[in-house]
Amino acid sequence: MRRFTESVRGGNSLTYSEMREATNAMFSEETAGVDIANFLNALSIKSETTEEIAALVEVLRENATQIPVTSPFVFDNCGTGGDGSQSFNISTTSSFVLAGAGLKIAKHGNRSISSRTGSADVLEELGIALDFLPREVDELLNQTNIAFLFAPHVHPKMKRIQSIRKSIGKPTIFNMIGPLTNPVELTSQLVGVYRPDKLMDIAAALHRLGRKSAIVLSGAGGMDEASLAGDNHLVLMKDGDCIPFTLNAQEVGLPYASLEAIRGGDAKENAAILTSVLRGEASPYLDTVLLNAGIGLFAAGTVSTIQEGVHKARKTISNGRAFSVMKSVIAYSQNRNYLEVNA
């Protein structure tokens, strides 16, 4: 590990095979935590390459719980975290809208690492389980169109790395690649990143990882979600071609709103915001979800334009389907807990 760290500190990027070796060393109990932290910091300072990202992700997925699913098309929408915006849980709220619109969503997420409330925190507050078994993930996809994968539950070998990440106290490559490590074989994906300079690298990594299509975006104000506060920078990856473009929410009929207008709070507050959005209550929170869900529908190829996706997202909320999906997942979790207690 120290050999790789010194090489990276010297400004050298690791090859795919070297990064695989370094990642396996990170999982070894024989590697000191301080050596792992130094390596992660060195990578961050140098700036991670497509090869380094793809190699790390593939090793993580090889070591993850295997989750075979019967659905032929599965989507995920997830931000990397690390943007420091303290926004509400945008991608989690949007995932219910995407599921209500007919997509099969395998939503990969975690507790808060660098933000106040992570996706797992708000889901737990809603009454949704975090420890679904692989067969339950498939059942949920078939019954409700959405299943949630709690990262520590499906990546058991990451427990030690998580504590090291927290000790570092700032974003590392793991913030960037979290959404890419979903153990389900995804067809398409929407990934939000807080670093616009990494859009092309992540889009290229998604192609290498087998995605047919994807959008990688960095929001106005440095958010890891699309924002109403200005120009959002996106890359559309379609069959290996990566096309950069910008998008302002006003171009798709949504109003401007500042980042302060979409701030969240603790898990209880964010659960209330999520529920208000799915009930269709007008607010910058709702408009932000419409924008992100619209982009997700476009990334999945179910609509021909983002504006069409925004309209479809709005209809999915207004007709109650998004809210119904949320209630169905909560009911599944509660029934599951009842069966466990009374088994």
Task: Give dist(CA 145, CA 315) in Å, integer.
Answer: 17
> Which residues are part of a known binding site for 5-phospho-alpha-D-ribose 1-diphosphate?
79, 82-83, 87, 89-92, 107-115, 119
> Which residues are part of a known binding site?
79, 82-83, 87, 89-92, 107-115, 119, 165, 224-225
Print the SS3 string covering 12-65: CCCCHHHHHHHHHHHCCCCCCHHHHHHHHHHHHHHCCCHHHHHHHHHHHHHCCC
**DSSP-assigned letter for residue 263:** B
Q: Which amino acid is at 199?
A: L
Task: Give dist(CA 337, CA 343) in Å, integer.
Answer: 10
Task: Give dist(CA 177, CA 314) in Å, integer.
Answer: 30
Hey, what are 247's tokens?
């998008």
Contact 295, 303 (CB under 8 A): no
Contact 193, 79 (CB under 8 A): yes
Please name which of 242, 182, 190 lies closest in space to residue 50, comparing C-alpha atoms. 242
> Which residues are part of a known binding site for anthranilate?
79, 110, 165
Distance set, CA 14 to CA 28, 223, 248 (Å): 19, 28, 36
Please count the CA atoms within 13 angstroms of the CA of 121 that sit on its side-chain side: 18
> Which residues are part of a known binding site for Mg(2+)?
91, 224-225
Task: Give dist(CA 277, CA 279) in Å, integer.
Answer: 5
Q: Is 168 helix (H, G, I), strand (E, B) or coil?
A: helix
